[in-house]
Structure 1
Amino acid sequence: MNRYWANYHSHNYYCDGVESPEAQVQAAVQQGVSTFGFSSHCPLPFLNGWSMKQDRLNEYLSETGALKEKYKGTIELYVGMEVDYIPGVCGPADFADQLDYTIGSIHYLGTNWNGDPWEIDGATEGFMKGLVEVHGGGIEEVLRQYYAHFRQMVQQDPPDVVGHLDKIKIHNIQGSLYDEESDWYKAEIDQTLDAIAEAGCTVEVNTRGVYKKKLDMYPSLSILKKMRLRDIPIMINSDSHAPGEITLAFADTAEQLRQIGYETVRVLLQNEWKDVPFDKDGLSLDK
């Protein structure tokens, strides 16, 4: 049985990625990807520097849909979006009926010092300004809100895939803000994973922290071990923003997942979610 890869978290020039969707497809084929998903950032009702603009949504859906037909027989393509969950503002259900799948992520948490949405996965400078000026430096309060939003999302507006679960750790440089081994933090993780398991969502293992931030994957290995005990399904995604990033850090990540007991990953194949075996060389797909 041949080995292939899959990636369902990718960004192109419709949002903050570079190059076209077709350039992504061609690179995916070259990198041994058998099933691939487009997932540009969804339009938001306020200005930011990285989301798709509302007036480009139909063009995005049309272009990626046409590529599905053009490359049929070469690679399976699926049209998704990474949808921000912002209570009362935006969520996966707002776009799901136009897509093959949704990735639900949290990039904003409350408001910043100007009363605008507070971006919590951008530059650390902006994160720290909000943390100090709005929350008085109370990182525990912020993290409790962050994981509460994930729980609310999977319970009230569940996506197909939960995006980069603990990405907020990018600001926790050398453990300067909080200890991931503290009892309160582990309790938040446990409660959140219980909610995800009950909702039946897949959680992505996102490799962008490895190849871009020189950190580790999202979520961390300690969280993935807890997920394995709960039988929470996973997929390996790269969160690529350029065609050359589509399969970065996949082999090492797959090896680590095997070591903690995962034997299958979830893929969208022949328009169905399936769990397939994998190892460091790729996914075992019956082609």
Structure 2
Amino acid sequence: MKRRATYHTHTTWCDGRSSAEDMILSALEAGFTDIGFSAHAAWSFSSEWHLDITAYEGYAGEIRRLAEQYRTRITVRLGFESDYIPGITAPDRSLYERWNPDFIIGSVHYVPAPAESGSFVPWCVDAPTAEVRRGLEACFGGDGKRAIQAYFAQVRKMAETCDFDIIGHLDLPKKRNGELRFFDETADWYREEIAKTAASIAASGKIVELNTGGIARGVIETVYPSKDICRALSRYNIPMTVNSDAHRSQDIAYAYPLAYEYAKEAGCTELMYLDDSGWTGYPLE
């Protein structure tokens, strides 16, 4: 059976622009066999782009209703993309078990400032360019190397200590690096961070997504993570899946051929899909 899916999908329940049903209809048009919804979550906090704490029941209820409505045409899964901010919120099933999610994506969008910086506002790596620059200066004195090392240390801690399924957009800080040039992806120290992070993820048993969302939004031309990182992951036989991180229904399958190319070039021979019995590898065709 040929599988095609995305488990990283945002709707009007958080910061997406399309309804859940419109996403399903687009997935069907694209020939998908599965779609997973992953509202931004940071229980027990809300923000302008996270699921409101009063909306969890409504969100989960709608996804379950749509799963039943479309069950003969496509498999619909309920999930969350949960932030990891140490001491504040975590992508851990213990926090979300009351909604019985099928899966959880763990992501790092915010990196707390070092105590000596005097900043109480974390660095948001997924913000507009000017905000990323201001946060980099306020939290890390403009030191890109230190900021990136802190980011990957946080990813490793998340992988090692939290109970979730998929690591989201592993090298997200590169989103604004094309404009700001605040770190060098070819530097030895960066490669060391990637090697340490790959080893940590392998030990945790987590899945890493190949995410095409940055391409769809026109901010980068490459998949998350980079080809070099994909090769590092493959050396550890880390399982992968392809996700669109779509916020609009028309982007549900954006740049999938490129993501498959990344996986193949890295030596990946199968992708992970969620069955009723758990995550299963299917051949990458």
* Distance 1:145-1:81 versus aligned 2 partners, 3 A rule: same
Helix, strand or coil at the partner of 2:260? helix
- For structure 1, which segment, 111-120 or 230-239, has the greater mean C-alpha deviation from structure 2 after superposition? 111-120
Question: The residue matched to 1:127 in structure 2 has which SS?
Answer: helix
| Structure 1 gaps, min length 5 | 280-287
Q: Would you say the 8 A contact 1:40–1:82 is kept in 2?
A: yes
Does the C-alpha gap of structure 1 residues 15 and 123 become closer, same or farther in structure 2, counting only changes over 3 Å? same
Counterpart of 1:162 (choices 167, 172, 187) is 167
State the alpha-carbon separation in 2 of the partners of residues 278 and 10 from structure 1.
Answer: 21
SS where residue 134 of structure 1 aligns?
A: helix
Instruction: With the length of structure 1 as denominator, give the TM-score of the two structures.
Output: 0.91
> What's the CA shift for 1:160?
0.2
Aligned match for 1:189, one of 176, 187, 194: 194
- Asked if structure 2 preserves the Cα contact closer than 8 Å seen for 1:139 and 1:178, the reply is yes
Match of 2:185 in 1: 180
- 2: CA distance, partners of 1:216 / 1:140: 21
Letter in 1 for 2:121: D
Matched AA of 1:77: V
RMSD: 1.8
Q: Which residue of 2 aligns with 1:95?
A: 96
Say whether 1:201 aligns with 2:206: yes
Alpha-carbon offset, residue 69 of structure 1: 1.0
Is 1:37 matched up with 2:25? no
Q: Distance in 1 between matches of 2:109 and 2:243?
A: 18
Aligned pairs (5 A) from 1:72-151:
72-93=71-92, 94-96=95-97, 98-111=100-113, 115-151=120-156
Counterparts of 1:226 and 1:216 in 2: how far apart (Å)? 17
Report the alpha carbon displacement of residue 106 of structure 1 after superposing the two structures with TM: 0.4
TM-score (norm 2): 0.92
Q: Flag the structure with more relative contact order, 1 or 2, with Cα contacts below 8 A and sequence separation at least 6.
A: 1
Amino acid in the other structure paired with 2:274? L
Change (3 A) 1:33 1:270: same
1:261 to 264, 267, 274: 267
The percentage of counterpart residues that share the same residue type is: 32
SS of the residue aligned with 1:54? Answer: coil
Distance in 1 separating the partners of 2:97 and 2:165: 9
Deviations 1:85-124 (A, max 9, x none): 0111111122255211000000111159862343221111
Which structure has more strand as a fraction of its residues? 1
How far off its partner does 1:258 sit?
A: 1.5
Q: 1:225 and 2:231 equivalent?
A: yes
How far apart, CA to CA, are the structure 2 residues paired with 1:46 and 1:106?
15
Cα deviation for residue 127 of structure 1 reads 1.1
| Long gaps (5+) in structure 2 | none
Size of the aligned set, in residue pairs, is 278
User: Which residue number corresponds to residue 12 of structure 1?
Assistant: 11
Structure 1, 259-268 or 9-18: larger mean CA deviation: 259-268
C-alpha change, 1:201 and 1:71, in structure 2 (3 Å) is same
Letter of the 1:275 counterpart: G
CA 20–113 in structure 1, closer or farther in 2 if over 3 Å, else same? farther
Structure 2 counterpart of 1:137, which letter?
G
Q: CA offsets per residue over residues 15-62 of structure 1, 9 Å max, x none?
A: 000121111111111110101100010145555321111111110011
The answer (yes or no) to whether the contact 2:133–2:180 under 8 Å persists in 1 is: no
The alpha-carbon distance between structure 1 residues 235 and 87, as it changes in their structure 2 partners (threshold 3 A), is same
CA contact (8 A) 2:41 2:82 kept: yes
Whole-Å Cα distance in 1 between the matches of residues 262 and 146 of structure 2? 32
Q: 1:110 to 1:104 in 2, by over 3 A?
A: same
